[in-house]
Structure 1
Amino acid sequence: MAGNTVSLPYEEPGIALILVQASFVLLLNVVNSILDRLVYCGLLGQVLIGIAWGSPGAKWLSTRVEEVVVQLGYLGLILLVYEGGLSTSFTSLKANLLLSSAVALTGIGFPIALSYSLQGLVGATALQAFAAGAALCSTSLGTTFTVLNSSGLSNTRLGVVLSSAAMMDDVVGLVMVQVISNLGAGNISPVTIVRPVLVSIAFAAIVPLICYFTVKPLTLVLNSYREAHPSSKLHTVLCHGQTAFVIHTLLLIALVTGSSFAGTSNLFAAYIAGAVISWWDTELPHPTCPTEDKLEKCNEGTVNTTTGGDGIISKPSTDDALGSENRTITPSAPQNEKDGNPAGRHTSSQESETGPAIYEHYYQQAVSRILQPFFFASIGFSIPITRMFSGSIIWRGIVYAILMTFGKMVCGLWLVRIPVSSKSNRLRGLGKKLRLRSIPHIWGKTAKIKPAKSTTSQEGADDTTVTARTNTVPECRPSTSTHSTPYPPKPFSIHPPLIMSLAMTARGEIGFLISAVAEANGVFSSSSTSTFSKESDIFLIVTWAIVLCTMIGPLGVGLLVRRVKALEEKKEREMEGGGRDVLGVWGVQ
């Protein structure tokens, strides 16, 4: 009878089911809000709620409901990664690409190397140790982007390095899923192993090429048409936020779908989709749109708009019929430069069309209140908490978790800046002075080289002369300039390396996925199996490490961010080091 059903009969849910599901959704948000305010890691509370309400705990949620929560949660993960791509700063990304690659390779190599300790710890084979290391070499993208957003570090240099390194780790981790499944099934061939790698590289290389050689020229041609026909229907349609929403969503769906069929990570494709939109918003010029209340008038032809040479739309005054001057509506150049928006890019009238604005308007509430909590709760569903509390499993899992934490903590060493002694600074400064004095013709005439005090003591000194002299002689620049020396005169701080290390420590969804695939394909089952559980010992030990690392990482980052914010507030109150971030160059956007 069930197979012949053509529709789902509507049945009113019972009060017990309503209370369970309502308490589940409400507590996910309440606990997240409380922990975010305290230690910036509300996701830990959501994982614990998933354990308590799901199969590992009280089993208040049915298996069918858990499956729906997992599916919706993964949709939230895709949108979280997409949001991370939208916040990508291409200037910082290009400047720190080598550093991000070094951090990612360190975070992959050390956990895999340290995982071979399982051979002595639990009698694992080399293949099983490699599979365990593959599960622990990943970094939880959902956890990373959630921590960055809640701490306000997503747009900083530290956030860019961290998010790009985590993305590289997860791409490698998702490639490992294919490798592990092939190893378990005994179907080992170069094509099945190399294909995910090549497809990932192709996505990372081909999409930017398409953007540069296709999207950019088409955008410039379209801009020329819109500037020449500011009252056209096409210009009016493109000025609507709904149009941007449709285009952004179609791009995201297309890349995610294409990556899934091609054999690479759909999370990687979601990040690329967000990065493409960020590039289009910030790196390409766009004509200014009229405000929303004038769009209908533009369609009706009641407002005569003209476009200046710089692409900024202007409107004649109502007194033009009497011969008065036209008034041009243009944003001031200094304000654009201050905000980092060159002339011709998005202004206040177009901010509603940018990727972050579209995401905030159409996606943010659903993701932050429903989909993101479901994702972290689904991680809790995957933890076999009742089968992990065996004496031998607990201490081995803790030892392995310590090793895996150390394997990711090493990544922070790339951000450590060793303080240089004052003697070294004096020697460097002396060498610079000697070098400049030996070739004065490169920097200008020696007659213009004056001591700093002589320029300030002259009451009527010409500003142009002073400026030229300052630009001509490098040592006349202020010593606080970040470009004057590769070692800024800022206090040595271990906060950026520790934040990087602890944020990379969280494993989360990809780690559970790889370990589950290895267990399902029998990679872990050949070792000695615990008499108290159906799962293999190695699987339970790996699960312990993933759980502990996923909790230690966000909690540590939250406590550090709380400490950093307290130090910034203290500096602000005491007026010491005003305008200088506690994170130094890593806190710069």
Structure 2
Amino acid sequence: MWSSFTYEEPSVSSLLILSSWLYLLNVFGYLAQRLLSAGLLGQILIGVIYGTPLARWLDESWEEAFVAIGYVGLLVVVFEGGMSSSISTLTALLPLSTCIALTGLLCPIAMSFVLVPMCSFSFVHAFAAGSALSSTSLGTVLAVLNPSSIGFDLRRTKLGTALLSAAIMDDVVAFILVKVLQVIGAGSGSGNSGGGSIGANIGRTIGVTIGLGVALLLLSRFVLRPAYRQMRTIRQGRLVTKGSLLLCMVLVFIGMVAAAGYAGTSPLYGAYIAGLACAYLSEAEPGPSPPKSLSVELLPTRKPARSYTFPTTTPIPTPIPSPPRSPSGSFADGDSRKKPGLRSTFEGVVGPLLNYLLLPIFFGSIGYCIPFVPLWQGRVIWRGIIYAILMILGKGICGAWLLLWRRRKSGWKGAVFIGLAMIARGEIGLLISQIAYHTTSPLLVEDEFLIITWAIVICTIVGPVGVGWAVKRWGRKILEGGWE
């Protein structure tokens, strides 16, 4: 007997709840952007109100669906971050990014052992806490770096590239730590330490991470880029449409996310390197050659009135330079310069969907994953605040590498900016803490879980607000010291 899902008209109350949820996510994002320069905080608040923590207006099945939809939004925004990067700049700054990432990883873990005497954590539980707070919310970082939030495209500068690559490194390592905690939690319950399983998981994740990067590099260099060049020249560029370019991006995106997830590393890493591959392909598009020293895409010289849209991320249009004379043998058809490119197609087709729907749902889903009511216990609050201060310092110190790297005192504003941008923990921190809390043999008891949640929440507030303050106060001066 055949079967199918029974179609039923949604109730009026369901329609009102869903429509108001989607609308208010954007409204509160707009208000929080105006007041705090961090629209995501307003969307997280709406998630707390509508979801399980308070009103419980969203059914559990809806919350599960919104988590999945929101995570797609996170993957897409990570893809956009990779596509907005400069490959040459990323390569040159890889040692600096590695130092920033290692500092942001090791300092929170080391500082978390203060929980042993302060809150009577065991050493294993303190390590679980440090693992949750060692991550950096890549989604939050990309949201606060968006051009519509700060007035210029910081993602394509040296400072932005170093920040994004450090954040993705921390998230990949956080994914490894998730596997470690799962093995420890399962092994503790069975009396088995699981040392062999931990080693196998770590080795597999590291090997897959490196292998995927190398494989995509070779594929992009010898297959994808030549094919993309040919596509833009064949039949006078008639194959180059927004639909065909969107298909190219979707295939690369889905392929790398699937490869990363099934192979055993973070899907976020797959989305990021897929974006890097598309950035590499976009260099094959006709247009002015990129300058040797990357400069910021500035707005017009006169100071415009700052405009806000409902979501925090709508790309600011930048002046389009007139196409230069085509060099000999570059492209057969001069009209191909008028064809859309990968970045412009993404901004025009995917950007509105991402900014008005996927990202608000993502940050809203973070909100109802926060155990809001149990947090307000005296014995938990003061411990959580002290731990949060330590975790802010643990990530804030990352910015010192900018001062040490070239020893330029004029770069201290960029150092402060990097430190503030690395603070937010967000979705990855909540994921790791909940895994540690719900393992077979829990690595966190209830009070410990709530203390860690306090630290995650406070850091996720302080990071975006601090970045907004720095940009308002210094503007483009944060790029002083050669970080433009």
Residue 391 (structure 1) shift: 1.2
1:191 aligns with 2:200: yes
Q: Give distance in 2, aligned partners of 1:263 and 1:400.
A: 32
Aligned to 1:209: 218
TM-score (norm 1): 0.69
Q: 1:262: which partner in 2?
A: 263
Measure, in 1, the Cα distance between the counterparts of 2:348 and 2:470. 31
| Post-superposition CA distance 1:240-289 (Å, at most 9, x none) | 2211111111111111111111011111100111110101111x36699x
Provide, for residues 51-97 of structure 1, a one-character-per-residue CA deviation record: whole Å limited to 9, x for no partner: 11111111121111111111110110010101101101112212211
> What is the percentage of aligned positions where both structures have the same residue?
38
Structure 2 distance, partners of 1:562, 1:555, is: 11
Of the three residues 402, 405, 417, the one matched with 2:392 is 405
Q: Which residue of 2 aligns with 1:521?
A: 439
Q: Distance in 1 between matches of 2:342 and 2:235?
A: 23
Question: Does 2:363 align with 1:376?
Answer: yes
2:191 counterpart residue number? none
Residue of 405, 409, 416 corresponding to 1:498: 416
Distance in 2, matches of 1:384 and 1:347, equals: 58
1:109 and 1:391 mapped to 2: Cα distance?
Answer: 30
Deviating more after overlay: 56-65 vs 268-277 = 56-65
Contact 1:128 1:524 in 2 (8 A): no
Distance 1:193 1:143 in 2: 26
Aligned counterparts of 1:501 and 1:343: Cα–Cα separation in 2: 43
Secondary structure (helix, strand or coil) at the match of 1:353 reads: coil
Matched, 1:332 2:324: yes
Larger radius of gyration: 1
User: Separation in 2 of the partners of 1:9 and 1:219?
Assistant: 43
For 1:127 and 1:351, the matched residues in 2 are separated by 59
Tell whether 2:115 aligns with 1:113: no
- The yes-or-no answer on 1:97 pairing with 2:100 is no
Q: Deviations over 1:117-176 (max 9, x none)?
A: 111122222211111111111000110100111223222221111111001000100111
- The 3 A distance-change label for structure 1 pair 555 and 347 is farther
Tell me, in whole angstroms, the C-alpha distance in 2 between the residues paired with 1:126 and 1:346: 66
Letter in 2 for 1:400: Y
Match of residue 362, structure 1, among 349, 353, 358: 349
1:60 is aligned to 57
Q: Is the 8 A contact 1:515 1:539 kept in 2?
A: yes
| RMSD after superposition | 2.8
Which residues of structure 2 form unaligned runs of 5+?
188-193, 289-321
Match of 1:583 in 2: 479
Contact kept, 8 Å, 2:228 with 2:281, in 1: the verdict is no
8 A Cα contact 1:281 1:346, kept in partner: no
Q: Which residues in structure 2 correspond to 1:141-540 (within 5 Å)?
A: 141-149=138-146, 150-151=149-150, 152=152, 153-186=154-187, 187-189=194-196, 190-216=199-225, 218=227, 222=230, 230=235, 235-237=237-239, 239-282=240-283, 284=284, 331-333=323-325, 350=337, 353-416=340-403, 492=410, 494-522=412-440, 524=442, 529=445, 536-540=446-450
CA contact (8 A) 1:139 1:505 kept: yes
- Residue by residue over 1:197-241, the C-alpha shift from the partner in whole angstroms, topping out at 9 and shown as x without a partner, is 211121122211222244345556x37xx75x645xxx422x222
* Structure 1 alignment gaps of length 5 or more: 289-329, 419-485, 530-535, 569-580
TM-score by length of 2: 0.84
Q: Distance in 1 between matches of 2:343 and 2:268?
A: 18
User: Offset at 1:368?
Assistant: 0.6
How many correspondences in the alignment? 438
Corresponding letter in the other structure for 2:480: G
For residue 68 of structure 2, what is the amino acid of its counterpart? Answer: Q
Query: Greater relative contact order: 1 or 2 (C-alpha under 8 angstroms, separation 6 or more)?
Result: 2
- Residues 348 and 70 from structure 1, CA distance in 2 versus in 1: closer, same or farther, beyond 3 angstroms? farther
